[in-house]
Copies of this chain bind each other. A is one copy, B any other.
Amino acid sequence: MHHQENRAILLVTCQDKPGIVSAISTSLFHHHANIVQSDQYSTDPEHGRFFMRVEFEWEESKANYQSIQEALKQIAQEYAFTYKVEKASRKKQMAIFVSKENHCLSEILWKWKAGELYANIPLVISNHKDAQEEVESYGIPFYHIPATKENRKEAEEQAIQLLKDHQVELVVLARYMQILTSTFVSQFPEKIINIHHSFLPAFIGANPYAKAFERGVKLIGATAHYVTDDLDEGPIIEQDVMRVDHRHSAKDLKIVGRNIERIALARAVQWHLDDRCIVHQNKTIVF
């Protein structure tokens, strides 16, 4: 995605209704904004759900971004749609939560530094100190908030306060091994991305890699999803798999698992940062 000063992304979702695309595109045209890329999808043209992503650029000499925003606000009221419009040049505030394992953290940090993830990272929060040195080597503040049964409430409150202080818009759970309460989750709806391993078939309970080994699975997968109250069951953003065979020990399967987790999580984060995701019920539309 390009991040020019004069480019913005509009995400729209609503009950489908005739004339929405016409209203939006005509308004953009009148405000000297040109559609560079757009994707639109309706579940059902009659009574279905409407989803749209529009990337547009305005002519800087003629257009005024504020006027465009106001025009979109008015159309949104008229058509009763939910929307978000964002300058492509604005970097989102992204926080990362990590525990001991750093594979997802390292991937995100590396891609961020390489310019593949367009965001600011004002802080990393961990319930352990293992990642501190790595995080600080990137010049990113690291907060150690130990999590115990006793202090869960206080620890979460501290974390929420830090996220608010930094106006965080995306929380990436990069193998954060603590369950977030619904108090926490409800403050960041559709703004927390988690990664977890995925198996065919699903292996319930402890030590799924040992079970996958015993069962002789041929694929190891990972699923990146938005976090809702229903643990590991939120709207899926991305999934991927890698092949394995009988020569992979349970430990080897775990290593494969973390490598596919790195890939799936990084893609999901990138798509969110590029405003390509719209959540509807328990599903993510990725444009």
Contacts and interface: CB of A to CB of B under 8 A. Distances in A.
Nearest to A19: B29
A41 B219 CA distance: 19
Interface in A67-93: none
Nearest to A38: B40
Nearest to A270: B255
Contact of A219 (B106, B201, B239, B281): B239
Contact of A239 (B37, B102, B200, B255): B200
What class of interface size applies to chain A in its complex with B?
35 or more
Contact of A103 (B40, B57, B114, B246): B114
Contacts of A283: 214-216, 246
A42 interface: yes
Given A221-B219, A282-B216, A283-B216, A34 B22 contact: no
A18 interface: yes
Given A29-B18, A114-B103, A215 B282 contact: yes
Nearest to A262: B110
Q: How many copies does the complex hold?
A: 4
A238 interface: yes
Interface in A8-44: 16, 18-19, 21-22, 25-26, 28-29, 32, 34-42
B19 A22 contact: no
Contacts of A38: 21, 38-40
A201 B18 CA distance: 36
Contacts of A102: 114
A233 B25 CA distance: 37
Contacts of A21: 21, 25, 29, 35, 38
A147 to B, nearest CB: 24
15 contacts: A19-B29, A22-B22, A22-B29, A26-B26, A36-B42, A38-B39, A45-B57, A214-B282, A214-B283, A216-B236, A216-B284, A218-B286, A219-B239, A219-B241, A246-B284
